[in-house]
Structure 1
C-alpha cells in the first residue's frame, strides 16, 4: 500500500498484479511530500519494534485497513486505486516467482500442477508468501460491508494504459512505468499450464474474483 497525503492517493498493492512497477514509478513522489519524513520515522520505529507499534500500513494491506485507520475525511478525499489480474495467469506467475526467488517454499512440488494442488489444500500450514497469492483480489477492494471502496480498478492485462489513466486522475503526467520483476523463466501462455482438474481448482477458489472482475480462462480476443 502506498499513501501520498500531498497528492491525495492511496495505491492498494495486490500481489502479482504489476504493483512493484507501480510502486517504483510513484515512489519518487515521496520526496516532494512534506509528510514523507514523519511517515518514514513512524515506519522505522514500527520496524525496530517488530511492528508492535502498528504505525505502518503493510505493503499488501487491504483497503479496509486504511479506511479503518484514517480519519473519514482523509480517506474519502483520497483517490484509491488498485490493479487486478486474471486468476489463472496470476497463479502461474506466482509459481514462477516462488520457484525463482523462494524455492524453499515449494514444499517439494516443482511441477506447477502438483504445487497448485498443494498450495490450495486447506490443510496446508499457513505460509505468508503462499497465502498472500491465494487471497481473493476482491477482498482488497472492499470495506467491512463488502462494498467496493476503491475509485479505480486497473488491469494487469493493460497495465500501461490503466496506469496512465490512474495518473491522469491523480493529476500527474510524465510518470514512466518501469518493468520490475519481469520473469525470464516463463515462455508459455498461462493456459498451457492447466489441465481440467487444476483449471477447476482455480475456478472454484477464485469464483468471486472471476465473477466480479469479469475474468475467464479463455478471454475474448481484443477487437
Structure 2
C-alpha cells in the first residue's frame, strides 16, 4: 500500500512570455525562509532586467521545469482576455440573447435586450451593465498542478511523478471561491497566497488524496 503523500512546500510559477509565447517557470519561494526567491519582487520574477537590477544576476526564469519531486506544486497563469483588449473596460454579457423584437416579445429567459445593453454600456462607459448585475471580467485564471506518481514503482522502474490537477486549492489554501484574477497585481498576489499556503500545508503534513476515474489517477485533493 502506498504511503500517504504530503506537499513538499516547493512551488513553481509558470506564465507566458507573450500573447502566444511559451511558458517560463520560476520558483515562487526560496528553499529556506519561505520568502520570495531572491530580492526581486514577485511581480518582476522572470524579467531579466529587473532581476539583474534587484539581485545583480541573470534571470531565474526557465522555459523548462526543474526535476520535480512528489508533492511539488506548479501554478500556471493563463490570460482570458486578448492583449489588445486588456487596457479597455470589459463587461461579462453571458446570458444576453439577441432579439429584434420588443422587450415584451423577447424570450423570457433572456436577461436583457441588446438595445438596453448598448445603452447601459454607453451611459456607464462599459464599466458595468447594471441590468445584468455583473462585475468586472476576470483577466485570467491560475491552474494548480501537483507532482504525483500516477503509476506504481518497482525495483527496476522507479515511479516518475506526473503533473495532475490539484482540485481544491481555492477552498483549502485561499479564502477565494475560485482561482480567477481580475488584474495583473491580483494574479501575482494569488500566486503568492497559494505558495504560502503550500508551505503551511507541508509544515502541517496535510495528506494528498488521489481522485480516481476508471482506475486511473486524474487529479489529487488536499485532505483538509
- TM-score, length-scaled by structure 2: 0.25
For CA contacts below 8 A with separation 6 or more, give which structure has more relative contact order: 1
Which protein shows a greater Rg?
Answer: 2
**Structure with the larger strand share:** 2
**Structure with the larger helix share:** 1
- TM-score, length-scaled by structure 1: 0.25
